[in-house]
Structure 1
Amino acid sequence: MKGVVFTEFFELVETTFGEDVLDDIIDKADLDSEGAYTAVGKYDHDDMVKLVEALSAEINVPVPELIETYGKYLFGRFVVIYPGFFDGVSSTFSFLSRIDNHIHVEVKKLYPDAELPVFDAIINGPKMTMTYDSKRPFGYLAKGLINGCIEHFGETIEIIRADISTDMTSATFELEAR
């Protein structure tokens, strides 16, 4: 998992809950890295799971809710960090349908060792079906990213999420524009 996911998570935690909470969850997560991440490094996704579980215990918010909230935040950060990905895109469906064939191709150019999830998107009028498939258990992160995309484009779209796997590595998202 790319380090930018960790550094942005730390930024969110510190900004929202304070430096003491960030230090506490790093200590409680018992990380091999001791919480030292660089944006361009590559790290084990289990570290993120440990960090989110530690934050959940610290602030008494369920893990899925935290991961989804982080996904929404992360999308907003991607808009700032990678503005070129949004050039010429004017809607949620347009952006989401470009993830695998455009955005992930560009990400691979920047980070050749990145192990990216697969997002298969099918648009049918005011509806879109997205399938998320990954080696990592971040279906809720995907939903948060989708919600962040919807918010970014200022649209009203309902999302229904259904798990394909029990370990959160695969899910479908039914999106319907309102």
Structure 2
Amino acid sequence: MTESLVTTLGPNDLWNVAALGLHPPAERDGENDGQSDGENDARGDGRVTARTWGNTRTRRNFHRQGGGYVQFVRDPVDFVDATLSIFEVEEPVLDSADAWVEVEVERVDSGAADDTEWEAWTLTPVESGVERETVPTINRGIGAVVEATVAASRLGVDAYDQSELRERLSYFEAVGRNCGDDRVRTALDRLRDHLDE
């Protein structure tokens, strides 16, 4: 799964920013023996898919608008704010986006897991842009922010062991503070602020 941020236009004419996990298309032509990550396009047509969980702004805006802007960012503060708060902007492309893809979405499946409704979507590219090119590096601090944010987003959800989530949150916060830069530490401070709200 690739973590991204997505902006979707809300009824207030602001762009809601949220985290969106992207699942790769199913393998074809015998590559990888037809195995995939299990979250691929229900139609098997080679498009990237994503799931929305619960009655989120992203889900509602996908239904209302039929698309949004998927963005690839490295800013841990934007990732935390998008995941744990209501984060709205006036323009569809974030200043922190390295690249973006305007997508049309189509709902292809739905269901429920542990009393939480989900919907699966295919994403079809319409237009894209690269804002900046960078040499990719592996930063444990940013990875720790992503994992801490995932754990934090599941707090209060009955399907998850709360003590285990708090242990994961504590562990990844320690890794981020030890391995990350000032922006990572700011993101972890922001994560704590959101949890205290």
TM-score (norm. length: structure 1): 0.28
Structure with greater Cα Rg: 2
Counting helix residues as a fraction of each chain, which structure ranks higher?
1
